[in-house]
Amino acid sequence: GFVLLWLTWKYVSNIWSLTKSGPFLINTLLFIFWMGVAAWLYGRFVRPQYKKWVQFLLGFVAIAIIIWSAAYYLKWEPEKEANKQEQVQVEGMQPAEQEGWYVFTPELFYKLQEEGKPVYVEIGADWCTNCKTNEKKVLNQEDIIAEFERRGVIRLKGDFTRENPVLKDFMLQYGSIGVPFNMLFIPGEEPIKMPELFSKSDLKKALEHIPVKEKQ
């Protein structure tokens, strides 16, 4: 009973996560596939016409498949979640799924501006091809990440996979009607808006407006 309750909870939590990230969808579909295999094995062979040892063996295999697929595809990393929560409490910022980025909120954005910190805002969506291209070819590249860190730029990420009125209003405020939205905010200067598709050299040129952060 407890195993079924746990599996149900994991399944529902992953379904909820489908609205946030593509990998959850893939993992959930794979889990459903293996659940189907297990159900077929159990329904096909755990019947009176088969010998007891056959029923026991294949029934055990079916249960093992369910447990394995749940453990493999519906992973929960309590240590990682605990570290993330600790980081939120310490810094007052919620880490995004991608390492080094934080979840965008207007309150956090304006707070960072008041503190005089350079901020890079990226708003994208799972269905946005140009967003994924910018992330893969530019934003996730090691030399770009190093450049952000070298100049002390705080990176904020907004998820527009499902239309969000708060993000929409923010983008409209800076002349954009949709994603991809990429803008660099430098204290005391006009924001630098990146084109829909941009290169590493484009972004590095924009980052050159920010002095290199002195090592302490």
Q: What is the pTM of this model?
A: 0.59
- Asked if the structure places residue 111 within a domain, the reply is yes
- Quick one: DSSP state of residue 135? I
What pLDDT does residue 90 have?
Answer: 35
In terms of domains, do 110 and 203 share one? yes
> How wide is the angle at C-alpha 36 spanned by C-alphas 127 and 59, nearest 5°?
150
In terms of residue numbers, what domain contains 196? 102-208
What pLDDT does residue 70 have?
Answer: 82
- Asked if the structure places residue 44 within a domain, the reply is yes
What pLDDT does residue 150 have?
Answer: 94
The rounded average pLDDT for each run of 10 residues, N- to C-terminus, in the chain (216 residues) is 55 50 64 86 86 88 88 60 41 83 95 95 96 96 95 96 93 94 96 96 96 72
Q: What is the spatial distance between Cα 21 and Cα 39, in angstroms, rounded to a whole number?
A: 28
What pLDDT does residue 55 have?
Answer: 86
CB-facing half-sphere around the CA of 73: CA atoms within 13 A: 23
Q: What is the spatial distance between Cα 170 and Cα 97, in angstroms, rounded to a whole number?
A: 21
Domain count, the chain: 2
In terms of domains, do 107 and 48 share one? no
In terms of domains, do 120 and 65 share one? no
Residues 6+ apart with CB under 8 A from 178: 160, 171
- Asked if the structure places residue 32 within a domain, the reply is yes
In terms of domains, do 59 and 143 share one? no
What pLDDT does residue 41 have?
Answer: 86
Q: What is the CATH number of the domain that holds 140?
A: 3.40.30.10
In terms of domains, do 133 and 56 share one? no
In terms of domains, do 110 and 59 share one? no
Of 35, 56, 34, the closest CA to residue 45 belongs to 56
- Asked if the structure places residue 94 within a domain, the reply is no
- Asked if the structure places residue 215 within a domain, the reply is no
In terms of domains, do 203 and 106 share one? yes
What pLDDT does residue 86 have?
Answer: 39
What pLDDT does residue 25 have?
Answer: 60
In terms of domains, do 106 and 195 share one? yes
Q: Give the three-state DSSP class for 93.
A: coil
In terms of domains, do 123 and 191 share one? yes
Alpha-helix residue ranges (DSSP H) falling in the chain = 2-17, 22-45, 52-73, 78-91, 106-114, 129-134, 142-150, 165-173, 200-207
What pLDDT does residue 147 have?
Answer: 96
In terms of domains, do 159 and 198 share one? yes
